[in-house]
């Protein structure tokens, strides 16, 4: 990808503007466990990405709570007799009051334990995606692959969001999130290589040859898995563990016991994903023969921690990978790479 300039739009979302002009009408949305990101071509021919944390907090509907939220300038909606705060505001408020946010998604899929999951996600999706520019506008949305280590019902999840986006007026099409990373990051390699998406609920992998996915799979470990384990070993709330991970640490050089716990579980996650990718290549099923070294592109919010790609390269060097690999890199904007790849897929699909 070319160099990108970060700014904010009128709604206060972080935006990404690029000088590229070849992307056609359509939208892409990354339905992540931790974050939802929507990508669209802007009027200047670049890409604008709106991002919101996929979380909410419910508070009792009383005068005191309303006054508190108003005083703090925290936006909320009333739903089922509760005051609902969504997105980043919910996460910040949860840390202030020592609570955990509620999550509409778990392990990469809509959460069966959250009765309010779908209406909450509809609110967040409407906020970041907006209405279609024309009826039936193409919108590619990310879905996880079938998992190697859990029985995940991807079909239900996929159908649910295809229906939701369809009711909003879009022509919705699913794409594996790691395949979207290939579209976003491996254009210079003719969309050939390995895309890895390290999300909140899962890690997804896609091996592609000239944009065609040869192997796609997921593992049920991601940022939440790190947070859950850090929470247990340190005896803190999971939201606190998330805060420790996101406050700007470097997993190559942990400074205290808290950061050491985060670094240990990050290294274990990376090693686990790499071993499973290696096993697929050694199994040989549906694998093409690559004539040249292939690149590995990493993306996803969980990959944004300091030192991630350096630790990834260290772990990769230990496993004796069965084929030659060229560059190993992280997307320039790892948080929005899947959404951009969905947008590229929408343009190519059209």
Q: For the chain, which residues make up each domain, given as ranges?
A: 5-54+104-349, 56-97
Selection from 75-89, 159-173, 226-240, 280-294 with the highest mean pLDDT? 159-173
For residue range 55-90, what is the model confidence (pLDDT) as tens digits?
888 887 778 778 888 777 777 788 887 888 888 888
| CB contact burial 101-130 (16+ within 10 A = b; e otherwise) | bbbbbbbbbbbeebebbbebbbbbbebbbe
Mean per-residue pLDDT over the chain, rounded: 87
> What is the reported pLDDT for 42?
84
State residue 238's pLDDT score: 86
pLDDT band at residue 155 under the 50/70/90 scheme: very high
pLDDT at 256: 93
Sequence-ordered list of residues with C-beta below 8 angstroms from that of 209, at least 6 positions apart, any chain = 192, 288, 290
Pairing of strands 35-41, 27-31: antiparallel
- For domain 5-54+104-349, say whether CATH 3.50.50.60 is its number: no
Q: What is the mean pLDDT of residues 271-285?
A: 88
pLDDT score of 285: 66
CB-based burial, 184-213: b 16+ in 10 Å, e otherwise: bbbeebebbbbbbbbbbbbbbbbbbbebeb
User: What does the alpha-carbon distance between residue 108 and residue 118 come to, in Å, rounded to a whole number?
Assistant: 14
pLDDT value at residue 12:
42
Residues ≥6 apart with Cβ < 8 Å to 152: 107, 108, 109, 144, 146, 218, 220
**Contact between 48 and 30 (Cβ < 8 Å):** no
Residue 298 has pLDDT above 70, yes or no: yes
Give the other-Cβ count within 10 Å of 55's Cβ: 28
- pLDDT band, very low/low/confident/very high, at 294 (cuts 50, 70, 90): very high
d(CA 137, CA 220): 32
DSSP assignment string, 96-128 = HHT-PPB-SEETTEE-TT-TTHHHHHHHHHHHH
Its sign, for the CA torsion 128, 105, 247, 66, is positive
pLDDT digits (tens, 9 = 90+) for 252-269: 999 999 999 999 999 999
Per the DSSP assignment, residues forming a β-bridge with 7 are: 15
Contact 289, 207 (CB under 8 A): no
For range 265-293, the mean pLDDT: 88
Q: What is the pTM of this model?
A: 0.84
- Range with the lowest mean pLDDT among 56-65, 113-122, 198-207? 56-65
């Amino acid at each position: 990808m070319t160099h990108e300039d970060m700014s904010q739009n009128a709604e206060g979302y972080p935006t990404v503007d690029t000088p590229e002009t070849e992307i056609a009408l359509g939208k892409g949305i990354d339905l992540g466990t931790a974050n939802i990101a929507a990508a669209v071509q802007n009027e200047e021919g670049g890409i604008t990405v709106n991002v919101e944390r996929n979380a909410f907090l419910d508070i009792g509907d009383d005068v005191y709570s309303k006054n508190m939220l108003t005083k703090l300038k925290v936006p909320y909606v009333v739903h089922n007799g509760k005051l609902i705060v969504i997105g980043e505001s919910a996460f910040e408020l949860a840390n202030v009051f020592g609570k955990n946010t509620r999550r509409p998604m778990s392990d990469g899929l809509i959460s069966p334990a959250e009765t309010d999951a779908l209406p909450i996600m509809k609110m967040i999706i409407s906020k970041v995606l907006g209405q279609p520019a024309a009826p039936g506008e193409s919108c590619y949305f990310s879905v996880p692959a079938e998992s190697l280590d859990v029985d995940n019902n991807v079909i239900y999840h996929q159908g649910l969001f295809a229906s939701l986006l369809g009711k909003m007026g879009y022509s919705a099409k699913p794409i594996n999130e790691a395949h979207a990373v290939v579209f976003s990051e491996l254009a210079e390699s003719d969309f050939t290589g390995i895309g890895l998406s390290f999300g909140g609920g899962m890690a997804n992998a896609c091996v592609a040859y000239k944009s065609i996915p040869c192997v796609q799979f997921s593992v049920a470990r991601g940022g939440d898995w790190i947070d859950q384990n850090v929470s247990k070993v340190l005896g803190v709330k999971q939201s606190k563990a998330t805060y420790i991970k996101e406050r700007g640490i470097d997993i190559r050089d942990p400074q205290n016991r808290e950061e050491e716990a985060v670094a240990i579980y990050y290294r274990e996650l990376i090693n686990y994903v790499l071993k499973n990718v290696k096993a697929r290549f050694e199994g040989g099923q549906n694998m093409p023969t690559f004539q040249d070294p292939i690149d590995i592109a990493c993306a996803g919010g969980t990959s944004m921690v300091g030192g991630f790609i350096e630790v990834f390269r260290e772990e990769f060097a230990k496993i004796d990978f069965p084929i030659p690999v060229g560059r190993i890199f992280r997307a320039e904007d790892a948080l929005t790479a899947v959404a951009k790849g969905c947008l590229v897929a929408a343009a190519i699909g059209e």
